[in-house]
Amino acid sequence: MMNMTLREPGSTLRVLSPCPHVLAFYDGRRPGTRLFSLEENWLDDGAYSLGIASYAMLDGAEALVFDTHLSLAHARLVRNTLEARGVRRIRVALSHWHDDHIAGNAVFADCEIIANEETAALLAENRERLETAFPPICPLVMPNRLFSGRLSLTVGRLSVTLQQMDIHTRDGTVALLPDGLMLAGDVLEDPIPYVDEPERLATHLRGLEHLAALQPRRILPAHGHEATIAAGGYGPALITANRIYLEKLLHLKHEPEQAHLPLPEFAAEAFATGALHPFAPYEEVHRQNVARVLAVQDTAGSD
């Protein structure tokens, strides 16, 4: 490992203002910097190195936090920032069950924490795994308000709709705001999505069709290019680019020679949309995606 500096969690967090009534809490993509350990761990290697943002929608004295970030320290900074702006009522919505999106839940234990029923079930199923991870998320604070399908909320005078999506994981949730703004969690990613359920890739591709049908004008993903997020997010081409990449993965069983291509060549058509930004650490994500998809295809072929 190259020379690395350990920094305090939250010390490199940047607060961005991509849109009216929305704050982005962005951290990571700092070469040579780690937050938890020099040893391999989910926080540094699975999220911080790739860059991650959680969001808050706020109006007046109310705010809805979309994911609680990488650590308790990050979550405290989110909460402190909102309270310093006069927010007195905070609610939380979870985009899905993965560690880098729920690690700060305990900081909001006195708040309403909203999730779809699938997210609650997956958190319960994976409680031991999350609470004994490296670093541990312990205690794991569970959501206390559940919904299925769709939930409409009001944050001050701001209308927000939480919409369940079967993309990336079976429990995905996106947040829809006025004027076509979508907070996407991990259902979309720049430059490529992380494949967590390779056996359900075809289902996730159908999910992207449903997502496109919502006709978002601007998209703010959890993992993406900081400057693009700060400037207001991505256009609908991000959906197209992610779809093209997943279709290529699904087609590997017919073109196995494609598996050995580096990411810029494998995903050339996706990059040609203009929606994506090359970022070297995603080469490893791509290799992992290819390995997972091929393993599932090999298993299916041997049945």
Domain 5-235 has CATH 3.40.950.10: no
pLDDT (0 to 100) of residue 299: 73
In 3D space, the residue among 60, 52, 56 whose CA is nearest the CA of residue 79 turns out to be 56
Name the pLDDT band for 302 (thresholds 50, 70, 90): very low
pLDDT in tens, 166-180: 999 999 999 999 899
Q: What is the pLDDT of residue 300?
A: 66
Q: Give the model confidence (pLDDT) of 106-137 as tens digits.
A: 999 999 999 999 999 999 999 999 999 999 99
Question: Is residue 297 very low, low, confident or very high in pLDDT (cuts 50, 70, 90)?
Answer: confident
Would you say residue 39 has pLDDT above 70?
A: yes
Is the peptide bond preceding residue 139 cis, with omega within 30 degrees of 0? Answer: yes
Strands (E), the chain: 5-6, 14-19, 22-27, 33-34, 52-59, 62-66, 89-93, 112-116, 145-147, 150-155, 158-167, 169-177, 181-185, 218-221
On the question of pLDDT at 88 being above 50, the answer is: yes
What mean pLDDT is predicted for residues 187-212?
Answer: 97
pLDDT for 130 equals: 98
Between 303 and 207, the more confident residue is: 207
For the cut 50, the answer to whether the pLDDT of residue 217 exceeds it is yes
**Is the pLDDT assigned to residue 157 strictly greater than 80?**
yes
Give the rounded percent of residues in the chain with a pLDDT score beyond 90: 96
| CA 32 to the chain's CA centroid | 23
- Mean of pLDDT values over 193-212: 97
Question: Does the pLDDT at position 11 exceed 60?
Answer: yes
- Please tell me the predicted confidence (pLDDT) of residue 3: 86
More confident residue, 136 or 300: 136
Amino acid 303: pLDDT: 40
**CA angle (87, 114, 106) in 5-degree steps:** 70
What's the rounded mean pLDDT across residues 263-283?
98
Contact 94, 75 (CB under 8 A): no
Burial of 80 per CB tally in 10 Å (0-12, 13-18, 19+): exposed
Tokens of 260: 């050995």
Q: What is the mean pLDDT of residues 96-110?
A: 98
Residue 298 has pLDDT above 90, yes or no: no
- Tell me which of 100 and 3 has the higher pLDDT: 100
H helix or E strand, kind and range, residue 227: helix 226-230
What mean pLDDT is reported for the chain?
96
Check pLDDT > 90 for residue 164: yes
Each domain of the chain, given as residue ranges in start order, spans 5-235
What is the structure's pLDDT at 288?
Answer: 97
